[in-house]
Amino acid sequence: MELLMKKIFAFFAIFLTFLAVGSKVSADDDFDVSAEHAIAVEATTGKVLYEKDATTPDGIASMTKILTVYLVYKAIDEGKISWDTKVSISDYAYNLTANSDASNVPMEAREYTVEQLVNAAMVASANSAAIALAEQIGGTESKFVDMMKAQLEAWSITDATIVNASGLNNSYLGDNIYPGSSSTDENMMSARDVAIIAQHLITEYPDILKITSQTTADFDGTTMNTYNYMLEGMPYERSGVDGLKTGTTELAGASFVATSTENGMRIISVVMNADGWEDDEYARFEATNDLLDYVKSNYEMVTLVKAGKSYQ
């Protein structure tokens, strides 16, 4: 039996079934992460170890892609597509690659596998890759957005605004915006919502970490570089970090959903709109590092009773 402790807090591993993010462990210290919104969660139990204004919806930018990619994995799991499925790149997705303000990869071949596009979306944050995947699975991006909304509802996430599969502001998408949305709309969720999605992604489809732990990857002869500067070998590396996704827009600021192993625990952290991000490209990583330090210093998993043994 295992114990997750913050001085006096404990739970028994015999009851460690999958729980939704929601139970908060009380903390009485003065730690304040340098971000507008934040949360830290122990992934196997869903226990909230830290939160700061974590239930207020705000821009999530490219952190959107963890939901998009979750639905890709789900479609593969259901046999609707495979990693080798060839995806045709629509004019809409292709033309967006010409916009240097939107993260992307070259798509001159106009046809790529699902595996290539998932790597592009998660490593290089390629917006056109996310759109192409959405069109492949949903038929159109708008229909895929409906699928995203349905999945959130199934997880009891009711406060999110979803208007596209990439996380871009709608102003980038021209005439391709979701029906009923405006040309300036953008995806919005709370930090807690993002943590719930990340929890489902890494627990149901842990192979995603083989993708998100890459610092570089090949895309049809083009080398893609990660935006996750906390991976090994990157400027703000931290041992144990193997994902997950950055996000940046004017609305969202610089945000980051990370996952890391700390004291033997699988931790999910979310920081949104990191303080000072306009002048410091590492601000979100500094905030995440501080948050993970807080978790590591205050919590640990210990064995009380081995599986199959009685507790007396």
24 is known as an active-site residue: no
Catalytic-labelled residue, pool 34, 52, 62, 142:
62
Choose among 234, 303, 251, 291: nearest CA to 267: 291
Name 157's Cβ contacts closer than 8 Å, sequence gap at least 6.
189, 193, 196, 197
Q: What are phi and psi of 184, to 5 degrees?
A: -115, 5
* Residue 159 CA to its chain's centroid (Å): 17
Catalytic-labelled residue, pool 65, 90, 142, 190:
65
125 is known as an active-site residue: yes
74 is known as an active-site residue: no
- Distance CA(247)–CA(37), nearest Å, equals 14
Beta bridge partners of 133: none
- Distance CA(300)–CA(312), nearest Å, equals 22
Catalytic-labelled residue, pool 34, 90, 103, 125:
125
Enzyme catalytic residues: 62, 65, 125
